[in-house]
Amino acid sequence: MKAAIIGVSGLRLTAEEAALLRRHRPLGAILFARNVADPAQLRALTAEIRECLGREAPILVDQEGGRVARLKPPHWRAHPPAATFENGPQAAAQATAAAIGAECRAVGLDVVCAPVLDLRLPGMHQVIGDRAFSAEPAEVTRLAGAWIAGLRQSGVQPVLKHIPGHGRAKLDSHEALPVVTASRAELAADFAPFRALGTPDLWGMTAHILYTALDEGRCATLSPSVIAEVIRGEIGFEGFLLSDDLGMKALAGTLPDLTLAALGAGCDAVLHCSGRFAETASVLEACPPLTERALARLAASRGQSRAA
């Protein structure tokens, strides 16, 4: 099983895609709006993917509520963004997350890339904005904890975004590499929700951000020191660590090189989302199998989600 989660092109697998998945056996897939028409179609697509990869293959979706939702009306409910819940009851956040999780699980999506644990800081790029619960680490922790509980209640695996923290970025990492010059002491606030909530049975997604106080030359996704000393060390995250999308413009280099660099830095698996066949093939051809340590982390997380 290769250490990659990949996108696919459309509403059903093409014969070429199915052959590629069977040949290379990536860990799983991630779906986007281009892959979603209605519940029956989506159930058929997730079933096709698992026919290729095995019935336990994780299939991911970004379904946060608000702006970031791949399942939309009229077939699915519109859910509010994280910021809506600030200073409100935890029960409301948990109930919304449980509803999102149930809708996803019903169509074969069992890993939901949420909650966002980034801080909603003033003056920063709105790529995070209302996707974050609050500017206050304690409030983010309180509400994100409820969100995790709600997703688990519905039997889906949460993914914490974007470790070690995207809230100070003044650029959108989809378009360029953000450089954060905050001191290590200032960054402690960003780390706090991940430290509080990052249990070994969760997944985390890295931030494509260069933090000058942590590594002057490499963004977190590609930095062995950030992953070992900060994400695994200071933050203490022991769960399954997934890169953010390798196709984002924050990263420079070929996809095969980025695949090897992210895995070499300490990510357990890489994410590639475009669904463009040649790109997907280049990632999978370069990608090694999951390591024994990554498999152990994966088993711990999957045991939690299956038991829910």
Q: What would the pLDDT profile of 279-291 be if each residue is shown by its tens digit?
A: 999 999 999 999 9
What pLDDT, in 10s, does the model give residues 72-113? Answer: 999 999 999 999 999 999 999 999 999 999 999 999 999 999
Nearest-10 Cα torsion for 108, 91, 68, 200: -60
At what angle are helices 137-153 and 90-106 packed, to 10 degrees? 40
Q: Which two tokens stand for residue 146?
A: 């409820």
Q: What is the C-alpha separation between 109 and 107, in angstroms, rounded?
A: 6
Cis? peptide before 164, omega within 30° of 0: yes
Q: Is the peptide bond before 75 cis (omega within 30 degrees of 0)?
A: no
* Residue 126 pLDDT grade (very low, low, confident, very high; cuts 50, 70, 90): confident
Q: Tell me which residue of 71, 66, 58 sits closest to 102, measured CA to CA.
A: 71
Question: 235: which 2 tokens?
Answer: 């933050």
Enzyme catalytic residues: 174, 244
Cβ-Cβ contacts under 8 Å for 176 (sequence gap 6 or more): 249, 250
> pLDDT tens for residues 170-203?
998 999 999 999 999 999 999 999 999 999 999 9
How high is the mean pLDDT of the chain? Answer: 96
DSSP 63-116: EEETTEESS-TTTS-----GGGGTTS-HHHHHHHHHHHHHHHHHTT--EE---B
Which pTM value belongs to this model?
A: 0.95
Helix (H) or strand (E) holding 61: strand 59-61
Tokens for 12, please give them: 């059903």
Pairing outcome for strands 210-211 and 203-206: unpaired
Per-residue confidence at 20, pLDDT binned at 50, 70, 90?
Answer: very high
pLDDT value for 124: 86
Which pLDDT value is given to residue 303?
73
Closest CA to 93 of 147, 132, 129: 147
State how far the Cα of 3 lies from the Cα of 27, in Å rounded to an integer.
6
